[in-house]
Structures are given as C-alpha cells and as structure tokens.
A and B are shown apart, each in its own frame.
Chain A
Amino acid sequence: MARITAGLTTTHVPALGVAIDFGKTQEPYWKPVFDGYEWTKQWAAAEPPDVVILVYNDHASAFSLQMIPTFALGCAEQFQPADEGYGARPVPVVQGNADFAAHLAQSLILDEFDLTLMNELDVDHGLTVPLSLVYGQPQAWPVQVIPLAVNVVQYPAPTGHRCLSLGRAIRRAVESYEHDLTVQVWGTGGMSHQIQGQRAGLINPVFDNAYFDRLVADPDDLATMPHLEYLREAGSEGIELVMWLIMRGAMGDDVEELRRFYHVPASNTAVGHLVLQPVAASST
C-alpha cells in the first residue's frame, strides 16, 4: 500500500531558480534564503520518497487563456521544463509515474473531484524551483513527480475549503494504491506578494506568520478564509497560498512540524517554507 510520509510547503519565486542556475546562491542577497533551506536539503537527501505529488500553479506557460482548468493532474511519463520567455531552465526532465497518476485520477474523480487530466504538460518555475530548492542541481531528480496544477491566475481560484478537501481525497487515493510507494505532497507558492499595479511589493509578515500557525494547528478554520482576505492582506498573488491547504489536507488531522522558515524578500515575495509529518498512520 502506498502511504504519505511527509509534506512541505515552499515559495516558488522564479528568481530563486535563476540564483541556483547561475551560481548566485552565496551572494549576500541570496545567502540567507538558501541557508534557510539547508536543513531541508539534509532531511530530503536522507530519505527521498518514491513520488512527490507537487501542487503548484502554472504561470501562463502550459495554460494560455484558451483553457483554464481549476485542477489539472499530470499523467504523462515525463514533463519537460517550459520556456517561459527566457529559454527553458537548465534542469533535468521531470519523470512522472503514469500508473500511479492513472490510479489517482480515477480515485479522485470517483471521489467527486472532477480533474482535468494532462497527457502532455510542460512544467514551469512553479514546479521546478521547489525541486531545485530541495534537491539542488542533480543530473536527474531523485524522485518521480506527479504535477497537480491549480488555477490561481484567473479569479477565482478554488476556495480554501475545496483545496483542503482535495488534499484529504488525495490521502484516500494514495492509501488505496496497491503498490508499496512512499509519497510526499508539496504545496507551493506564496507567501504574501503582489507583482502588479501600484500596490506591488506588498508584504504582510503578520498575516504570513498567522497563516503558518493556522495551517498547522487548525486547517479547517483556515479553510474558511474568503478570497478577498487573501487578496487584500497577502497581495493579489498571495492567493497562491490556497494551494498549501491541499498539502495540509493530505497530511491527515494531526501533524508534527519539523521545520519552519520565513524570510523577506526574495525578489518581490515573502519566502515561506514548512516541513510537516503526519502523526496518525491512517486516513482521516
């Protein structure tokens, strides 16, 4: 039986990928950010899971406005890094797990989550920057990855409650897979940031720190937060934080917090990072 062993959340700012790709991680501006991930890199190297279900948002890379799926699951054998306008990042091709993805797709749709299924999907910085932050610059990624792309580009994103519920359904789906697999779920994006308009540059550490606390301790309460509050308090792009609730739902009711890191700024964004481990062994 497959099982969820851990979850993490992380910011996925594109400039972090640039800093890694061009060897700038030890420069004074970037060093505090990358130092904040050192604990996680050690932890991740010690016990890589078989598969990461990586929740992220596409940034107008794979999805134009022609089609705007709310939840899209990557079911392909592999996923190419996208050319976002600067040329593709020099990172390994992302290897999927098509059999497990097909199982997840079927389980989740029969569990009433009407996913869009992707047999081709180029993955942008939203997915590859978290892999770089956790695994550095290997020749090949040490884990298989199943991308779960969430629309947060066109309003409205799915509600926090819907995201938390999907995470719980993912836990049920993972635990009904017959093969032995260790699985992590990652929720990416955030924390507070706004990259458009005259209010750009907004950072709200009070909101962000409360978000950490509520995500860990009382996700059902956090899931009631309306979109307006995210937009007003965490910036128009801070709405990405709803994706963290998918990760949280997949952890079950009780979690142990292994790691927390917060830093301002990375480019226009507050960096936020958590590593969580489920306490209960069974599904909720």
Chain B
Amino acid sequence: MVDNSALDDIPGTTIFTAKKSQQGYHLNQFCTSLMKEANRERFKADQRAYLDEWPMTEAQKQAVIDRDFNALLALGGNIYFLSKIFATDGLSYVQAVSTMTGMSVADYQAMMLAGGRSPDGWRSVKERAAAGLESHDNATAESTEVGTADSTEES
C-alpha cells in the first residue's frame, strides 16, 4: 500500500496521484474536449447538455457549471485540464487561480508583485494547526467519496 499521508499534509494543495486521476478521469477528459473550437462553441451554447454527454458525477458537472475550481480539484480535476475550462471562458491563469485562494484578483496580483506567498506557515497542515492558523484544505467534497480514505485533511 502506497502511503501518501505526507502528500496530504501539504496545506491547500491537492497532489494529483493515480488515484485522483482515476476519480477525475471523465471530468478531465471532458476538459480535454474543450481544446477543439467546435466543442467550445457547443459547450458555451448549452453547458448542461454538453456535460450530460460525459459520464461524470452530478457533483463534478455542477462544480464545472459553478466554476468552483477547489471543488473540482477535490473531485479529481487536475489544474492543467481545468485550465481548458477557464481558457474557454477567456480567463488567464492568474484570474482563475486567484479564485481558489479566497482572494480577489487584485489582492492576489498584489501579493504576487510583492514576491508571492511565503512558504512559511504553509508547509504542513500539522504545523498550521500547531501555530493556530486556519486550516486550509480542499477536502470538503473529497471526504464524501469512496477511495480517498487516506486523506488526512480536515474539512
């Protein structure tokens, strides 16, 4: 048995393991389909109808419609695949990525210009808990799913 508990201890971070890849297979393949202009047009015209062509879970489909990228990470999405969704929306990485941090785009860009997010305090869920910092994780949706019992993230 592979022990990924150390990977799960990185706060606010989802490591895209083989298990996550299996969980998110159809979600990520749907994202891949958006690399074709004709598919982007069909998706934009009727998102629900387009999503219903894919054997995704209802939670995955709803998170796509909501553009809830943290939920999508928890449901097996990978950021490079999810980028096809925000590319279809005409958003940059910065615009889309900032939505996952709970910061406004302007605040996020200001943080980056000031040198980015320091790793101090962000190395370990345990370290954050010991320091009395808010626990950040993406496990809300993950905790309800089969096959993710190895997650030690708090929700």
Contacts and interface: CB of A to CB of B under 8 A. Distances in A.
A264 B104 CA distance: 20
Contacts, number: 163
A139 interface: no
B50 interface: no
A265 interface: yes
Contacts of B94: 15, 267-268
A181 interface: no
B80 to A, nearest CB: 4
B126 interface: no
B95 to A, nearest CB: 10
Interface string B40-63: 100000000000000000000000
Given A15-B92, A60-B28, A153 B16 contact: yes
Interface stretch (A81-89, A90-98, A214-222, A275-283): A81-89
A146 interface: no
Given A84-B87, A154-B16, A232-B123, A198 B28 contact: no
B73 to A, nearest CB: 6
A270 interface: yes
29 contacts: A60-B31, A60-B32, A60-B83, A64-B32, A65-B28, A65-B29, A83-B35, A85-B40, A85-B84, A86-B87, A87-B37, A153-B78, A154-B21, A155-B15, A196-B13, A196-B14, A196-B69, A196-B79, A196-B97, A197-B136, A198-B137, A201-B98, A202-B122, A203-B112, A207-B119, A232-B123, A233-B119, A267-B94, A267-B112
Interface of B: 6-7, 10-18, 21, 24-25, 28-29, 31-32, 34-37, 40, 69-70, 73, 78-81, 83-84, 87-88, 90, 92-94, 97-98, 100-102, 108, 111-113, 115-119, 122-124, 136-138
